[in-house]
A and B are shown apart, each in its own frame.
Chain A
Amino acid sequence: MTVLEQPGTYAPAPPPSWRPRTEAAPLLPEAEPYRVLGTRTAEREGGEQTGPDAGLLRRLYAAVVQGRRFNEQATALTRQGRLAVYPSSRGQEACQVAAALALRAEDWLFPSYRDTLAAVARGLDPVEVLSLLRGDWHHGYDSPGTRVAPLCTPLATQLPHAVGLAHAARLKGDQVAALALVGDGGTSEGDFHEALNFAAVWQAPAVFLVQNNGFAISVPLAKQTAAPSLAHKAVGYGVPGRLVDGNDAVAVHEVLTEALDRARSGGGPTLVEAVTYRLEAHTNADDATRYRADGEVEAWRAHDPVTLLERELRDRGLLDEETVREAEEAAERQAAELRERMHQDPQPDPMELFAHVYAEPTPQLREQAAQLRAELAAEHEAAAAARPAGNPAAGEETR
């Protein structure tokens, strides 16, 4: 019997077959980035004061001003040789600060190498956070204690970690969410897609914040993706996507707060794309003039996260000279302290190289540690011998 003679060829496929598992429409992101700052003027003119809470506005403002100053100070530290490298989040301070402030104490943050500021805004010691970029160790803060995972350099690899942690918290019955940060370029890596899929299938309390700053080093978004937006990528996994103005700290804060609340209460993951701009080069070692026009940067300066907040506060009559001065002074104090502490020479112990490879060093590692210890002792002796007796300072110079 040929296939043509078979009866019932045209019957619909029996179940289980294709059916929409999730309605697509409610998952779709907004058509335009969601904004709050500067959008409620009409309502205000009608008499009633609406819009974001004044306390939140003030807190975001102070944090963004500090964040901007922190970025400037860290970049200056690269010029003074105090940091090996600094990937600045200048221009992205609204995302960094809003991410930190949207978290509850029990939540976890999974930052990338560009998210030093988010960790600092969460209250971590800046010097500890900068350890990776200073180069005294790979990681400087207590991750379990602070609930901030190590700054992650291999792109998007932190995302499955966030999903796994969120899943584990849910299995334990804890109301804990994980917020993972990634760049526009990082969304092209396989780990981004695998993380979203796991999060969706497991309904893990994870929130993904893509800071779309327009570039992956030199590669503009147009070469990175053909998607309508990065937020649309959520839909294919059955995850809601949100599109937000990443320079609007209030909007980012609001969207993340909603997503984190939903996650903690069992509503599953969310993908948030924050549209922002990298005002600096990729890092201090990069030369952005090779691949982008100054005009583009200037246009984004007009949509600066600090000025946007400032304008809103002024329009609402919430910003007097006193508040401005206080915020600036606090930022300056933090920068000065950072500068001073970063100008001390850290003394990482070479013997620590062997201490944390395993819970117990292997016999081979013990042997290698002994070798290095002997070398260091010999080096020390040679240096002491080269020093004229009674004049250590002069000897120091001849080394």
Chain B
Amino acid sequence: MSLALSTLIYEWRRYMAAVVALAFSGLLILAQVGMFMGIGRAFTAQIDRARADVMILAPGATGLGNGPSGVPRRILPTIYRHPDVVQVAPLDGSGGRFQNIVPADEAAEAQNPNQRTGAEGQGGGQQGGERRRMEFVNVTVVDPIPGYVTVPTDYSDELLEALRRPYAVAVDETALRRLGVQLGDKALYNGKTIEIAAVTRGYPNMMQATLIMSRDTLRMLGEADTGPRVGPLMVKLRDASRADAVAAQLNAQAGGQYRAWTRTELARANANLMFQEQIIGVMLGFSVFLGLLIGIAITWQTLRGAIMANIKEFASLRALGVSMPSLRRVIMELSFWVGVAGILAAGALTWGVGLLAGANGVPMAFSAFWIGMVSVLLLIIAIASGFLSLGVLKNSQPADLLR
């Protein structure tokens, strides 16, 4: 093992500050990226698991739910006319006020500040103990027919059966707490009674909770689209592998009224949308800058201190004829290993934070690209710090050992 690596391992305490600084610099960036990507993935989950092979959006739309949405109802039959198309259905949705229903007496108790902790201590069981909640929610519609184009691929038949009942809704498990409901509870949506008939998994609700309901239920609630425009169209093809060709053909005859996307095309566009937001770019840029600054400052000073602690040993090597460039190489190797340790620590830390966030309904997602980028950045920080601390080697004057 080399001198640098042995020293780092044996005297790890000395280098701890640098490793921790690098770990937090990495976390600062990775946690944000992870959060944005997690949000982005929640958006794309819907697309990734859609049965539609082609989706028809308004001409200027840059993603599902971004830019102008919806198309004229008139184009529905034109899409149908394409020989490869077997199903076409508009996405429909709505949004409104959601309230949980709390039995009157327990509500009073829960609202009483003196006993609030006791009431919450029951953990929000099915029989109450919940506080009254009022949340704004999104509504997304499916046609609860097994295998239908609007039904996500991972919906079970039981889930669809539950949604076929009037006024039945499904919510994701990550939204239960926010909405203050349990499976089987009744609740109010825009003043009308609905029932939590199913709980989904894997559809995290980041900004607002989402209710899934059947098209019929939405109609009964009086909120279905009936006007001249409908939501984006979900199109199922006889042969999914023809998606590219069909999308191109549909686009050729669009006449500026719509734009057809293949599912993969749309998923990619949606994932990237998040990072095109200027504010996110600014935030990330600022974090990178901050991470770089703090990382270098702390790592540099730590390395300096650690080298100074061994300066006599370095001086004795100089006396024995080891050249200055050789000693510099030792320092650079040392800072490289500090960087590697920092990357590992950043990974562990981010993993922990990711678990914690996931458990609290903010799932994070990481891509190899960003992990690679942050690793490279941490390595750059470490090596730059090494460069900066080369100056202290001037203190390794072997003549000082002779006194």
> A and B bound?
no
